[in-house]
């Protein structure tokens, strides 16, 4: 926490609650009474998060974000859903960035009290604000936005329902992956679909960075920031269109994801199942032999 920072005053936070405000490190942290420890932890983590993002993207965080730390997630879930969804349908959201307000909302009940988790959450959400600060919304595909923020935060996602490696492989094998054109403006609203979209976006960005290099990735972002058309920016920076990048990525999956690989990944489960079947068959065989033995004695 920066020297001279102090708690003081009150402010209105999400849902109309009274919040304590801490100004530190170029950010405003708002929280309910009793959450001083979480606010200090966030304030301590913020400078390193900010510096790392500025070094990665080459853009300064030249704005003062407001970071709301919430004790519970009901108001946050209502905010993301617009208050229209049935509570049973709401996604388990951990945090959200509101670019028009330079605001981040973090549900501490979902993030937990570990400083590493909080740092990853801050980095992911501040990444969204930084990208939207520099790139026009119509020039930043949703899959690229989310994939980049997962890349820099080492896999953190805003929702807690994540697609596991087996979920992703199952979708790839079944031909159920989304086309990038379907993830340009929005993600699916149902839990499994959104989890898969996040995982797919992360993997595409990692593939892009590994294949073309970080310098090419940053060149792409600079071109988008200048307002270049998405296809033109991809062509100039990577010599491929988004559709061609998608084809290359899916082709790379063929060697990674095969039925043999899928079976190998579940080898222990398969062996356990076969062992259970063998045990069951053996039990019934012994039972039948015992009955045959009794029948022979009766005769």
Q: HSE (CB half, 13 Å, CA atoms) of 16? A: 0
Q: Which two tokens stand for residue 25?
A: 């490190």
Q: How many residues are listed for the chain in this entry? A: 299
Residue 9 has pLDDT above 50, yes or no: no
Residues of 244-253 as b/e, b for ≥16 C-beta within 10 angstroms? ebbebbeeeb
Q: Which residue has the higher pLDDT, 267 or 106?
A: 106
Strand partners, 106: 69, 95
Highest mean pLDDT among 18-27, 78-87, 141-150, 169-178: 141-150
Write the pLDDT tens digit of every residue in 137-151.
Answer: 899 999 999 999 999
pLDDT category of residue 162 using cuts at 50, 70 and 90: confident
**How high is the pLDDT of residue 73?**
67
Write the pLDDT tens digit of every residue in 91-111.
Answer: 778 899 999 999 999 999 888
- C-alpha span between 96 and 110 (Å, rounded): 12
Consecutive H or E run containing 82: none
Residue 231 has pLDDT above 50, yes or no: yes
- Mean pLDDT (the chain) is 83
Which residues touch 156 (CB under 8 Å, ≥6 apart)?
120, 121, 123, 124, 149, 150
User: Which of 159, 153, 15 shows the shortest CA–CA distance to 79?
Assistant: 15
Architecture, CATH, for domain 1-134: 2-Layer Sandwich (3.30)
What is the domain partition of the chain in residue ranges?
Answer: 1-134, 163-260, 266-299
Residue 80 has pLDDT above 60, yes or no: no
The pTM (predicted TM-score) of the whole model is 0.78
């Amino acid at each position: 926490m920066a020297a001279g920072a102090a708690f003081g005053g009150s402010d209105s936070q999400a849902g109309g609650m009274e919040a304590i405000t801490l100004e530190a490190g170029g950010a405003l942290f708002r929280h309910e009474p009793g959450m001083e420890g979480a606010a200090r932890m966030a304030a301590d983590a913020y400078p390193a998060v900010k510096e790392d993002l500025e070094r990665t993207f080459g853009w300064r965080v030249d704005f003062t974000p407001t970071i709301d730390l919430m004790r519970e997630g009901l108001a946050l879930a209502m905010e993301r859903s617009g208050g229209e969804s049935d509570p049973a349908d709401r996604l388990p959201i951990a945090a959200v960035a509101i670019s028009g307000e330079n605001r981040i909302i973090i549900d501490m009940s979902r993030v937990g009290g570990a400083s590493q988790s909080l740092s990853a959450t801050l980095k992911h959400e501040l990444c969204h604000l930084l990208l939207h600060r520099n790139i026009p919304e119509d020039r930043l595909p949703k899959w690229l936005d989310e994939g980049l923020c997962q890349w820099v935060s080492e896999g953190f996602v805003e929702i807690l329902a994540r697609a596991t490696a087996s979920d992703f492989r199952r979708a790839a094998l079944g031909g159920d992956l989304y086309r990038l054109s379907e993830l340009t403006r929005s993600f699916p609203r149902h839990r499994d679909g959104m989890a898969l979209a996040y995982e797919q976006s992360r993997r595409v960005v990692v593939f892009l960075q590994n294949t073309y290099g970080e310098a090419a990735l940053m060149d792409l972002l600079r071109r988008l920031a200048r307002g270049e058309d998405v296809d033109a920016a991809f062509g100039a920076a990577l010599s491929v269109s988004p559709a061609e990048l998608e084809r290359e990525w899916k082709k790379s999956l063929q060697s990674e994801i095969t039925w043999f690989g899928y079976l190998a990944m579940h080898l222990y489960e398969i062996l356990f199942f076969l062992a259970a079947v063998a045990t069951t068959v053996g039990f019934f065989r012994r039972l039948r032999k015992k009955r045959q033995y009794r029948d022979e004695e009766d005769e």
